């Protein structure tokens, strides 16, 4: 088995490995990862078996003498093909650690793909991480609905959804990215003194590259957007990438109606993931946000981050 650093000439081979992996998503395709290539020094890895076939890939970037998997992604870790069993992963982990040390890295920061995003069980990397002495550094709670047996909305969420519908709030899939992005920018700036991770140009570029995976749903009052949700659709999960409302939307309690519509539209997925509700690596929990998501029938999964000296 061999480990090598990814080069752009291997993009088709990389994408094929992601598509056929047990735990890769469209976020790990090069057309997604490379949109922000100017912000990160890519140091992704490929693992080949003794036949020269790629059996696992690691989206990664270098930051000084640290290697991250990957700072531009919510999660990454080793993306494994079906032949990559626990024995193979132990070999991959050992060889990759040696390869990274040889290239001057001293620490690996590792964000594995959460299990709900797996197309088939793929936690061999967590076992290899344990064996290598990995340490848990961050634990973020994300709230997800199992769409095969949903708990359903609580009485308050149901009442708000019914009230918004009676008031004439309209919900639809939309292409009005500019109006929604202005709402999102204003919300993040006013509440968190922050900007969206993606500019409007970047999200429209990604949407053009992945039209079946990136969608915008909006709730409107008198033809003006009052709330919106950007959904990322992977094989098993519909994930809320951005959620934003105007003050009018908050007053009219439009989010329950909007989420009710979206959830009904994505029932071909196994899970609906509202996203995380933490700050400071999970040490601060946004209790109000968790309470709201629980009202929609969501319960916790954890996005972990580990570190390990090399």
Which tens digit of pLDDT belongs to each residue from 78-102? 999 999 999 999 999 999 999 999 9
Cβ distance 18 to 33 under 8 Å?
no
Q: What's the confidence (pLDDT) of residue 284? A: 94
Q: How far apart are CA 127 and CA 129, in angstroms?
A: 5
CA-based nearest residue to 242, from 199, 208, 282: 199
Output the six-digit token pair for 3.
Answer: 């480990």
Whether the predicted pLDDT of 192 surpasses 90: no
* 219-230 residues labelled b (16+ CB within 10 A) or e (exposed): bbbeeebbbbbb
Tens of pLDDT, residue by residue over 9-32, are 999 999 999 999 999 999 999 999
Whether the predicted pLDDT of 225 surpasses 90: yes
Tens of pLDDT, residue by residue over 118-173, are 999 999 999 999 999 999 999 999 999 999 999 999 999 999 999 999 999 999 99
Output the six-digit token pair for 168.
Answer: 């004439």
Q: What's the confidence (pLDDT) of residue 38? A: 86
- Neighbouring-strand partners of residue 308: 108
Tens of pLDDT, residue by residue over 103-113, are 999 999 999 99
- Find the helix packing angle between 155-166 and 255-265, rounded to 10°: 100
Q: How far apart are CA 23 and CA 166, in angstroms?
A: 42
Provide the 10 A C-beta neighbour count for residue 270. 19
Q: Confirm whether pTM is higher than 0.85.
A: yes
Q: How far apart are CA 271 and CA 266, in angstroms?
A: 9
Tens of pLDDT, residue by residue over 35-59, are 888 889 999 999 999 999 999 999 9
CA-based nearest residue to 44, from 69, 9, 73: 69
């Amino acid at each position: 088995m061999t480990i090598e650093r990814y080069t752009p000439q291997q993009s088709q081979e990389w994408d094929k490995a992601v598509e056929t992996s047990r735990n890769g998503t469209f976020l790990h395709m090069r057309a997604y990862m490379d949109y922000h290539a100017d912000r990160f020094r890519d140091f992704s890895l490929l693992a080949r078996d003794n036949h020269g076939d790629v059996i696992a890939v690691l989206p990664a970037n270098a930051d000084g003498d640290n290697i991250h998997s990957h700072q531009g992604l919510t999660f990454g870790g080793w993306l494994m093909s079906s032949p990559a069993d626990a024995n193979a992963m132990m070999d991959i982990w050992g060889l990759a650690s040696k390869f990274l040390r040889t290239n001057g890295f001293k620490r690996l920061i590792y964000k594995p793909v959460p299990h709900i995003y797996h197309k088939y069980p793929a936690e061999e990397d967590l076992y290899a991480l344990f064996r290598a002495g990995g340490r848990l550094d961050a634990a973020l709670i994300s709230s997800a609905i199992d769409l095969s047996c949903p708990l359903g909305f609580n009485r308050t969420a149901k009442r708000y959804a019914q009230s918004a519908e009676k008031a004439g709030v309209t919900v639809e899939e939309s292409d009005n990215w500019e109006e929604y992005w202005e709402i999102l920018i204003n919300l993040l700036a006013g509440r968190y003194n922050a900007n969206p991770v993606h500019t409007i140009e970047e999200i429209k570029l990604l949407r053009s590259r992945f039209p079946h995976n990136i969608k915008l749903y909006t709730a409107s009052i008198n033809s003006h957007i009052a709330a919106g949700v950007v959904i990322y659709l992977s094989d098993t999960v519909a994930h809320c990438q951005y959620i934003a409302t105007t003050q009018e939307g908050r007053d009219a309690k439009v989010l329950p109606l909007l989420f009710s519509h979206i959830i009904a539209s994505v029932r071909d997925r196994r899970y609906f993931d509202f996203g995380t509700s933490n700050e400071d690596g999970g040490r601060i929990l946004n209790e109000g946000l968790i309470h709201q998501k629980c009202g929609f029938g969501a319960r916790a999964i954890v996005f972990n981050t580990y570190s390990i000296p090399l």
